[in-house]
């Protein structure tokens, strides 16, 4: 038996795990007491990791057109068909759809192959569904996709505002840290702003059960209230920001009386004013937000409305202060770092970043290869599948994700996949909803087999370590990508023998011609040799000559990543959900995770004790709505939405607002006849970020 350190593969908290390995078996796991994300804690999902492993149900052999083949044949076929597609339809007829489950090294290699050498910008990721609005808002206001805070700021705050986040279920260890901090500091206050009464409310001093989608109105109202009550930090605003007048003017286009804001948000005026007063009168405020803010057709504006209030009060760049977006997936941030969004190029550089195209081209040039970089951004997730539907994209490579389930209007996505002439899927599991659409299936390694890095929500890079041998012929994603690249003639640029070499190259690119104008810089890690990479301890970026030990908090000097160093307050005009309620579909649909499951349950569904919490698809309904529909608790019911239906057992809940229902995102056709929440949602996206509006569907409810 030996012990090894690795990182949990589930949520964006990124907890350190101590794995006890007995030969070829993971005997048990415990929290890593030395990891700064969790200091020894694990939630129920993390602590069940050892129970979710095993060769059973794994993909172990490559398949081409339904026939098992050896790796050489599979890789030759991938290369040949990609090349044939490009020759017939152009570089931009090929695309990739990646995942926040990939390790940074896999992500880097895929981004380099598609954008650098296949010459297509159409590489996007399921992180588009998770964090794209937060990314766009940080860029607009702070000048870079740079989360200012650390987890310890939650513990140092006087006021923590949870908005659009059920932290207790979705980021449980962070919730535990917050709860402990609150116990230690009785003066700390917690405010929960959420349409549903969730378990996170257990530690709330104040709860605002707002109308879904009214978040921007609420924070715009707060900005105006702070101005009217003399609570703006005029010195900070003058020195470090611009755009206050425009942001204030936009907020004043609506009635800014407490009564009017409370009516629009459907909250109690006294509670609302109490929140405003608490926020305005404390300096050390952290506003922590997640998918309840991001997954909206105006998610970027909502994020900016929050950031505006922090800038206006100088509540940023200080211990215990700042706007803090929490990622859903374990490596949503690592994917952003390498350029894994279609609007990014590489190493946090966008296509329109000054000099970026030329810089990346030169960096990826080898003795005999010059990259063919696309000139501009590619299709974001929803657009990508629309382009497939139109026949513009003829070849798609999906890695470590399941768009047949998770994207809105999922039936249309399935039709597009069925129509696509070439679908390549890199996958760990033998039975997913996506595999029937695959022409070529490539068995990939999974957590506990893979080696690489992930970055959590506080910019902390941690190692995931290979502990067990892969089952059958499963291979690492970076190896598969490099082998295809070699067959396409790009071997010189993909001559990697180990993921540590990819990480070092990624680190070099982050610092390449970077005089400090790009915040993402981990160039101090580019000299790591194999031993150093293996031993890499968790560290927060930037990690460069100026901060060789990493960086806990950003923007402490009040200088932001904009060209003039000033943060921007953004004029926000609140908008309601794009999916309109109607007589036919009168109920507002909210979607999300349950505590003990992850994504489509391919891993967590294997641990019986994780199924005990919520064992089947359900529909959470307010008592009044249940009665109006003649439904009792545990009765079977059907939701009908934009593009399909969902069947589940009714859970009557007093925490649910009247006129709204909630369903979990995890169940797919494999587990239940009809419980795919993606089929209920229309594909409306935020115009800035491209993030789908997954929190605001419109549905009808009836008994079965
Ligand atoms: Fe894993 Fe998230 Fe739980 Fe930590 S909180 S153990 S990262 S699922």
pLDDT at position 599 over 90: no
- Classify residue 548: in a domain, yes or no: no
Q: What is the largest CA-CA distance in the chain?
A: 73
- Classify residue 399: in a domain, yes or no: yes
**Residue 647 near residue 673, CB atoms below 8 Å:** yes
**Residue 229 near residue 243, CB atoms below 8 Å:** no
Distance 37 CA to ligand 1 centre (A): 10
- Residue the block writes with tokens 């607002």: 657
- Classify residue 579: in a domain, yes or no: no
From the CA of 598, give the closest atom in ligand 1: 8
- Residue the block writes with tokens 């005997």: 27
From the CA of 31, give the closest atom in ligand 1: 6
In angstroms, the Cα distances linking 247 to 241, 488, 569 are: 12, 51, 6
Distance 45 CA to ligand 1 centre (A): 7
What's the CATH code of the domain at 481? Answer: 3.40.50.740
From the CA of 172, give the closest atom in ligand 1: 5
Distance 8 CA to ligand 1 centre (A): 6
The preferred substitution site among 7, 171, 607 for testing ligand 1, maximizing ligand atoms within 8 Å of CB, is 171
- Top pLDDT among 514 and 671 is at 514
User: 10 Å Cβ neighbour count for 524?
Assistant: 21
**Residue 596 near residue 11, CB atoms below 8 Å:** no
Percent of the chain with pLDDT over 70: 99
Distance 100 CA to ligand 1 centre (A): 15
- Shortest-distance Cα residue to atom 3 of ligand 1: 43
- Shortest-distance Cα residue to atom 2 of ligand 1: 11
Residues 108-164 pLDDT 10s: 999 999 999 999 999 999 999 999 999 999 999 999 999 999 999 999 999 999 999
From the CA of 37, give the closest atom in ligand 1: 4
- Shortest-distance Cα residue to atom 4 of ligand 1: 15
pLDDT at position 69 over 70: yes
SS3 97: strand
Shared domain for 189 and 306, answered yes or no, is: yes
ipTM of the assembly?
Answer: 1.00
What's the CATH code of the domain at 10? Answer: 3.30.200.210
What is the length of the chain?
A: 704
Distance 15 CA to ligand 1 centre (A): 6
Closest C-alpha among 362, 324, 318, 334 to residue 522: 334
38-47, 291-300, 600-609, range with the lowest pLDDT: 600-609
**Residue 68 near residue 61, CB atoms below 8 Å:** yes
From the CA of 46, give the closest atom in ligand 1: 6
Helices then strands (H, E): number in the chain?
A: 24, 28
Q: What is the CA radius of gyration of the chain?
A: 24
pLDDT at position 356 over 90: yes
Distance 457 CA to ligand 1 centre (A): 12
Shared domain for 633 and 669, answered yes or no, is: yes
First to last CA, the chain: 53
The preferred substitution site among 42, 330, 596 for testing ligand 1, maximizing ligand atoms within 8 Å of CB, is 42
The preferred substitution site among 172, 326, 333 for testing ligand 1, maximizing ligand atoms within 8 Å of CB, is 172
- Classify residue 641: in a domain, yes or no: yes
Distance 126 CA to ligand 1 centre (A): 19
Shared domain for 238 and 358, answered yes or no, is: no
Shared domain for 320 and 403, answered yes or no, is: no
Residues 6+ apart with CB under 8 A from 427: 59, 398, 400, 434, 435, 438, 441, 442, 443, 444
Shared domain for 392 and 464, answered yes or no, is: yes
Averaged pLDDT, 578-597: 94
Shared domain for 361 and 495, answered yes or no, is: yes
475-479, 531-535, 592-596, 623-627, range with the lowest pLDDT: 592-596
Number of domains in the chain: 4
Averaged pLDDT, 54-64: 93
Shared domain for 344 and 482, answered yes or no, is: yes
Which residues does a 6 A CB cutoff place in the pocket of ligand 1? 8, 10-11, 13-15, 38, 42-43, 45-46, 171-173
Averaged pLDDT, 72-85: 98
Distance 98 CA to ligand 1 centre (A): 21
At 374, is the pLDDT very low, low, confident or very high (cuts 50, 70, 90)?
very high
Shared domain for 140 and 108, answered yes or no, is: no
Shared domain for 384 and 474, answered yes or no, is: yes
At 673, is the pLDDT very low, low, confident or very high (cuts 50, 70, 90)?
low
What's the CATH code of the domain at 228? Answer: 3.40.228.10
Distance 445 CA to ligand 1 centre (A): 20
Indicate the burial class of 335 (C-beta count within 10 angstroms; 0-12, 13-18, 19 or more).
Answer: buried
SS3 191: strand
Distance 165 CA to ligand 1 centre (A): 15
Shared domain for 422 and 513, answered yes or no, is: yes
Distance 389 CA to ligand 1 centre (A): 37
Distance CA(515)–CA(513), nearest Å, equals 6
Averaged pLDDT, 14-38: 96
From the CA of 173, give the closest atom in ligand 1: 5
* E strand segments, 195-297: 206-208, 241-242, 285-289
Question: What's the helix, strand, coil split of the chain in %, to 5?
Answer: 35, 20, 45
Distance 117 CA to ligand 1 centre (A): 36
Q: What is the pLDDT of residue 332?
A: 84
Which residues span the domain enclosing 149?
132-326+564-568
Q: What is the pLDDT of residue 607?
A: 85
DSSP letter for 478, please: H
- Top pLDDT among 409 and 652 is at 652
- Classify residue 551: in a domain, yes or no: no
The preferred substitution site among 5, 6, 7, 8 for testing ligand 1, maximizing ligand atoms within 8 Å of CB, is 8
At 1, is the pLDDT very low, low, confident or very high (cuts 50, 70, 90)?
confident
At 409, is the pLDDT very low, low, confident or very high (cuts 50, 70, 90)?
confident
CA contacts within 13 A on the Cβ side of 122: 23
- Classify residue 675: in a domain, yes or no: yes
Q: What is the pLDDT of residue 631?
A: 97
Mean pLDDT estimate for the chain: 95
Q: What is the pLDDT of residue 672?
A: 57
Shared domain for 154 and 278, answered yes or no, is: yes
- Classify residue 152: in a domain, yes or no: yes
Q: What is the pLDDT of residue 411?
A: 85
Residues 304-334 pLDDT 10s: 999 999 999 999 999 999 999 999 888 988 8
- Top pLDDT among 676 and 60 is at 60
Tokens representing residue 698 in the block? 């419109």
pLDDT at position 256 over 80: yes
- Classify residue 420: in a domain, yes or no: yes
Q: What is the pLDDT of residue 278?
A: 98
User: 10 Å Cβ neighbour count for 473?
Assistant: 15
The preferred substitution site among 6, 15, 457, 598 for testing ligand 1, maximizing ligand atoms within 8 Å of CB, is 15
What's the CATH code of the domain at 643? Answer: 2.40.40.20
As a three-state string, the secondary structure of 275-289 is HHHHHHHCCCEEEEE
Shared domain for 312 and 338, answered yes or no, is: no
């Amino acid at each position: 038996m030996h012990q090894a350190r690795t990182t949990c593969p589930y949520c964006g908290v990124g907890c350190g795990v101590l794995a006890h390995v007995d030969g070829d078996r993971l005997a048990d796991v415990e929290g890593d007491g030395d990891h700064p994300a969790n200091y020894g804690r694990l939630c129920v999902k993390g602590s069940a990791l050892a129970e979710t492993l095993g060769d059973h149900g794994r993909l172990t052999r490559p398949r081409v057109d339904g026939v098992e083949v050896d790796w050489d044949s599979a890789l030759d076929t991938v290369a040949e068909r990609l090349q044939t597609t490009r020759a017939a339809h152009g570089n931009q007829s090929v695309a990739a759809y990646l995942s926040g489950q990939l390790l940074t090294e896999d992500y880097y290699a895929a981004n380099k192959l598609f954008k650098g050498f296949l010459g297509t910008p159409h590489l996007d990721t399921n992180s588009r569904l998770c964090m794209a609005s937060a990314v766009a808002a940080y860029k607009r206001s702070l000048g870079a996709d740079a989360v200012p805070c650390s987890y310890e700021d939650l513990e140092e705050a006087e006021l923590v505002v949870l908005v659009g986040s059920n932290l207790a279920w979705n980021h449980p260890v962070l919730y535990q840290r917050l709860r402990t901090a609150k116990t230690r500091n009785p003066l700390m206050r917690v405010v929960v702003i959420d349409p549903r009464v969730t378990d996170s409310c257990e530690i709330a001093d104040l709860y605002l059960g707002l109308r879904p989608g009214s978040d921007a109105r609420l924070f715009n109202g707060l900005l105006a209230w702070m101005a009217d009550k003399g609570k703006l930090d005029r010195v900070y605003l003058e020195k470090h920001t611009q755009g206050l007048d425009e942001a204030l003017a936009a907020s004043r286009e609506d009635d800014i009386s407490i009564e009017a804001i409370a009516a629009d948000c459907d909250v109690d005026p006294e509670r609302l004013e109490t929140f405003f007063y608490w926020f305005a009168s404390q300096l050390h405020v952290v506003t922590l937000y997640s998918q309840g803010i991001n997954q909206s057709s105006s998610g970027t504006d909502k994020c900016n409305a929050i950031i505006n209030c922090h800038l206006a009060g100088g509540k940023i760049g200080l211990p215990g202060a700042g706007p803090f977006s929490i990622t859903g997936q374990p490596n949503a941030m690592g994917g952003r770092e390498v350029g894994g969004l279609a609007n990014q190029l590489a190493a946090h550089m966008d296509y329109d970043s000054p000099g970026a195209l030329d810089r990346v081209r030169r960096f990826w040039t080898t003795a005999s290869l010059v990259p063919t970089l696309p000139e501009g951004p590619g299709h974001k997730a929803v657009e990508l599948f629309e382009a497939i539907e139109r026949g513009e994209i003829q070849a798609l490579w999906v890695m470590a994700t399941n768009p047949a389930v998770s994207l809105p209007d999922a039936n249309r996505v399935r039709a597009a996949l069925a129509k696509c002439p070439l679908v390549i899927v890199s996958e760990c599991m033998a039975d997913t909803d996506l595999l029937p659409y695959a022409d070529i299936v490539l068995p990939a390694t999974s957590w506990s087999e893979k080696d690489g890095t992930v970055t959590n929500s506080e910019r902390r890079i941690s190692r995931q370590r290979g502990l067990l041998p892969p089952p059958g012929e499963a291979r690492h994603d970076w190896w598969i990508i490099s082998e295809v690249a070699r067959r396409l003639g790009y071997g010189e640029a993909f001559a990697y023998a180990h993921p540590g070499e990819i990480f070092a190259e990624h680190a070099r690119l982050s610092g390449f011609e970077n005089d400090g104008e790009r915040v993402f810089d981990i160039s101090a890690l580019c000299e790591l040799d194999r031993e150093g990479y293996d031993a890499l301890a968790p560290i927060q970026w930037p990690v460069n000559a100026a901060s060789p030990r990493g960086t806990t908090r950003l923007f402490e000097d009040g200088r932001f990543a904009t060209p003039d160093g000033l943060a921007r307050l953004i004029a926000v005009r609140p908008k309601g959900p794009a999916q309109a309620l109607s007589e036919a579909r009168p109920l507002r649909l909210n979607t999300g995770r349950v505590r003990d499951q992850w994504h489509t349950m391919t891993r967590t569904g294997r641990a019986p004790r994780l199924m005990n919490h919520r064992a089947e698809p359900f529909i959470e309904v307010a008592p009044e709505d249940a009665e109006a529909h003649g439904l009792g608790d545990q009765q079977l019911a059907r939701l009908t939405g934009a593009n399909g239906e969902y069947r589940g057992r009714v859970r009557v809940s007093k925490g649910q607002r009247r006129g709204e229902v909630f369903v979990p995102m995890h169940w797919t056709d494999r587990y239940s006849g009809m419980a795919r929440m993606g089929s209920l949602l229309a594909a409306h996206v935020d115009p800035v970020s491209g993030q789908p509006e997954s929190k605001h569907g419109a549905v009808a409810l009836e008994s079965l």
